[in-house]
Structure 1
Amino acid sequence: MKRFECGTLVPGCHWHTRAEKEAEVVRRAVEHLRVTHGEEVIRPSMVDHIKERIREDQPTTA
């Protein structure tokens, strides 16, 4: 499972997402940046910044 925390890119933002595939995490992050942070143009460098911040999510133990 992959995880992206927006606060690693936009300080103070607590939004995060998880998905099995990196592409889905990137898609959700881009949509979040458009809707929540008002980014109208997502440049390839922004996608690179998102990918750099995606981490493997640690499974929780019950």
Structure 2
Amino acid sequence: MKEFHCGDVVPGCTATFRFATDEEIFAAVVRHARADHGMAEVPPEVMEEVRRLIRPAA
């Protein structure tokens, strides 16, 4: 399993995503960014930051 903490990119956000693959995390992050952060599109540089911050789940 892998995980990503949105608060590592958006200070104060407590959302955490745990999935088997990076692709599943990316899909969940895009849904979350739209629903909870009002982002119509997630810029490529943000997705690259997400990719960089994905870690093995503890």
- State the superposition RMSD in angstroms: 0.8
CA deviation after TM superposition for structure 1 residue 2, in Å: 0.5
TM-score (norm: length of structure 1): 0.87
Structure possessing the higher radius of gyration over alpha carbons: 1
Q: How many correspondences in the alignment? A: 58
Report the 3-state secondary structure (helix = DSSP H, G, I; strand = E; otherwise coil) of the residue aligned with 2:17. strand
CA displacement 1:6-43 (0-9 Å, x = unmatched)? 10010001011100011101110111011100011212
Q: What secondary structure, in the 3-state scheme, does the structure 2 residue paired with 1:14 have?
A: coil
Corresponding residue number in structure 1 for 2:51 = 51
Q: Unaligned 5+ residue runs, structure 1?
A: none
Gaps of 5+ in 2: none
Identity %: 33
Match in the other structure for 2:11: 11
Residue 35 of structure 2 is aligned to residue 35 of structure 1: yes
